[in-house]
């Protein structure tokens, strides 16, 4: 049983190129369905040190959830570079790009 934080990192590492997941999905797959905010916290502080594809993580509205302008732009560019369409308001088509893994794909715990 890995700690929540480690599971989150494992899940994020498995997001395929050209796809996205939401914070809530990741929280659920990591065993804490309501800890979406904690996922955000983890990314905010740990993404650089773990070489995570953090740019493939967006919020439930399908939007880039970054406050910082430069980082926001970076995420948008990274997504577009993988073929994910991002509109002018930073929104992605979840129906089209979201990974819809249930909770049985993973072999962690």
Residue ranges in contact with DNA by CB under 7 A: 3-5, 22-25, 32, 34-44, 47, 54, 57, 59-61, 65-68, 71, 89
In the complex, least distance from residue 46 CB atom to DNA, rounded to whole angstroms: 8
Helix, strand, or coil (residue 83): coil
Counting beta carbons within 10 angstroms of the beta carbon of residue 55, is it exposed (0 to 12), middle (13 to 18) or buried (19 or more)? buried
CB-wise, 34 or 95, nearer to DNA? Answer: 34
Q: Which two tokens stand for residue 55?
A: 């740019």
In the complex, least distance from residue 105 CB atom to DNA, rounded to whole angstroms: 19
Q: In Å, how far from its chain's centre is CA 101?
A: 13
Counting beta carbons within 10 angstroms of the beta carbon of residue 48, is it exposed (0 to 12), middle (13 to 18) or buried (19 or more)? exposed
Instruction: Give the C-alpha separation, 3 to 56, whole Å.
Output: 22
Helix, strand, or coil (residue 84): coil
In the complex, least distance from residue 47 CB atom to DNA, rounded to whole angstroms: 4
In the complex, least distance from residue 87 CB atom to DNA, rounded to whole angstroms: 11
């Amino acid at each position: 049983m890995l700690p929540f934080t480690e599971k989150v990192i494992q899940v994020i590492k498995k997001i395929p190129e050209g796809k996205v997941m939401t914070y809530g999905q990741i929280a659920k797959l990591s065993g804490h369905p309501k800890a979406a905010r904690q996922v955000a916290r983890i990314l905010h502080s740990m993404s650089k040190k773990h070489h995570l594809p953090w740019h493939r993580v967006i919020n439930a509205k399908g939007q880039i959830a970054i406050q910082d302008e430069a980082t926001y732009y970076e995420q948008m560019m990274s997504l577009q570079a993988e073929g994910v369409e991002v509109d002018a308001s930073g929104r992605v088509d979840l129906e089209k790009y979201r990974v819809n893994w249930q909770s049985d794909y993973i072999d962690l715990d």
